[in-house]
Amino acid sequence: MRIASRLIMVRNNQLLVMQRNKFGSEYYALIGGGVDAGEDPMHALSREVREETGLMIANPKLVYIEEAGKPYGTQYIFTADYVSGEPVLSPDSDEAKIHSMGSNLYKPVWLDIEKLPNIPFLSTELKNMLIRDLKNGFPEQPIKFSSSANYEESNELSGGQYGQN
């Protein structure tokens, strides 16, 4: 089953997200992607953040483990400190190559936190936890949760497509 690492990064009351338009279905997701064979989730996080945004991060801390069901698998979700850079797809990334084809678009952006409740976001359960914990603080120990049902609902809302990266 697939394993992925995702980033929660906040700067100036904005959350770093990937804005997606996948064949006409628009939604937002956390930055991140698949963990390669032999790679640990924390290393994958730094690599994926560089590929998808060009940002440098420090002090990653695991806060959630999302069991997203097939085919999305286990999502390791970290907070981290912003070090430097502005979000832009690396020209060598898989996302940039897919983006250049024009119908499956990726755009890393800073989203005003107050907009989070009103946007399509994957997964719904993760979105609700983010809203709560951006207000109250993230857990000291990782929280494990399941979102399989929410992914199915979200897939219906987004035309059956979930951002795999």
CB 69 within 8 A of CB 122: no
Domains of the chain: 3-157 (3.90.79.10)
Give, as one character, the DSSP assignment of residue 78. Answer: E
pTM of the shown model = 0.86
Q: What is the pLDDT of residues 65-80, one digit of tens each?
A: 999 988 889 999 999 9
Site of tokens 């286990």: 74
Q: What is the pLDDT of residues 143-159, one digit of tens each?
A: 999 996 443 344 434 33
What tokens appear for 1 in the block?
Answer: 């089953």
Residue 161 CA: distances (Å) to CA of 19, 26, 124, 127, 154: 14, 10, 14, 17, 8
Q: What is the pLDDT of residues 32-55, one digit of tens each?
A: 999 999 999 999 999 999 999 999
